A and B are shown apart, each in its own frame.
Chain A
Amino acid sequence: MDLKCEQVWLLISDYVDGEVAAPVRAEMDRHLLTCTRCTAVLAGTKNLVQLYGDERMFSVPLDFSPALHRRLSQQTRPERGAAFTWALSLAGAGLAAAAMLLFSLPRFQQPTLLAPMSQPALRVPVANLVVVSDDGKTFHVPGCTYIHGKSRMIPVEEAMKEGYNPCIRCEADLIHRTAKSRSAQEIRAVDADEAGSGD
């Protein structure tokens, strides 16, 4: 049987891999002895298989392996046991519940301030009675000229709980007056002491 070039080309890859049956291989060898075209195809195929199969053909970048193992070590960290996870979850839930309970106590409750820039009236004595009006959002010292509408008197603490904020004008005036009267009292007390010691 004489093989044609087209038949040899079809088998050339198997020939290179050594996967052609012995009788066919013998026929191919006979053909290759005289056919320069098929010899060229075979030589080229063998050469490129050898070249591409060489380890030097493709090199792995130096930083590939370290970067890969860094990512792997993050992913493959040993998992905690299920019991540990449950305990951790329970502890977290307990803490959250305790915090909610604590902050629900009245002393932690702050009145809702109506104006975004307003501050609670921390320096106003809690026992003081202040004036609030249904139309306004602020509470006032009795006599403040900025009271509008129908007004009523309630303790400072209650006014703050209802969401009223201190009137910046009369509150400042009140604090100023309180401080002034305290100073006057202190001066009088000192004078009295001095007078007493002078006797």
Chain B
Amino acid sequence: MSAQAKARSEGGGAPSSEIPQLAYERELIERIRRGERELFAELIRPYERRVYVTALAILQNDADAQEVAQEAILKAFAHLNQFRGEARFSTWLTRVTINEARMRRRKQHHEIMKPFNELESEDDEGQFVPQDFADWREIPSEELERKEVRDLLVKALAMLADKYREVFVLRDIQHLSIEETAEAIGITPGTVKTRLLRARLMLRESLAPGLGGIWSRPLAFEKGTKPWT
């Protein structure tokens, strides 16, 4: 098991290296509540990327994501007194961001075209059965330097239904634990695991070469080529 996977598998428990950071955050929050409002910028600085990426994953649009991320952070500042300290500040901030992004999405009636998997089944309990068993040729991380590879992965992610994408983004992109993901979204850890499994299998299926592979469609690649060959 990798160190990252180990840290993540520890659930809500904070690794020892994170404890000073959490204590510092608590101190900052107390000082902000006592009137040192300008310290809020320091409090949220480590989470700016997380807030933006979470908003982007839900809204699929850079301009909206920037705006919603800013709104979420300002809202967190305005309602800091409601943060009880039962969860981590980062988890609470993520929840605020998700709510803000969902509200924006509802306003925009963004769900005109339903993603393919949402049409198949709305049921979390139903098992997703892989259909493509072609050999997965490993995509080296270095390929992420190429914009077309990133675009392909982003498009595949966008095809997931919102409920799967939210779990996948928090867990596999933001590296939140199962418990933190559950708390941020407001579902049980069991549901997080079920949705995560389906999200990963569906993504693998859509990215796998062959049957149903999305690069069989003319996306960013030359006909008959793979980005990593």
Contacts and interface: CB of A to CB of B under 8 A. Distances in A.
B33 interface: no
Contacts, number: 138
Given A67-B66, A78-B38, A57 B204 contact: no
Interface in B94-145: 127-130, 133-136, 138-139, 141, 144-145
Given A37-B133, A60-B53, A68-B69, A44 B204 contact: yes
A71 B73 CA distance: 10
Given A52-B173, A73-B41, A76-B38, A9 B130 contact: yes
Interface in A32-91: 36-37, 40-41, 43-45, 47-54, 56-58, 60-61, 64-65, 67-69, 71-73, 75-79
Given A58-B56, A60-B49, A61-B62, A49 B35 contact: no
B201 A9 contact: yes
A71 to B, nearest CB: 6
A54 B141 contact: yes
B150 A57 contact: yes
A44 to B, nearest CB: 4
Contacts of B23: none
A18 B6 contact: yes
A179 B35 CA distance: 72
Interface stretch (B13-21, B83-91, B192-200, B214-222): B192-200
B163 interface: no
B210 to A, nearest CB: 10
B26 interface: no
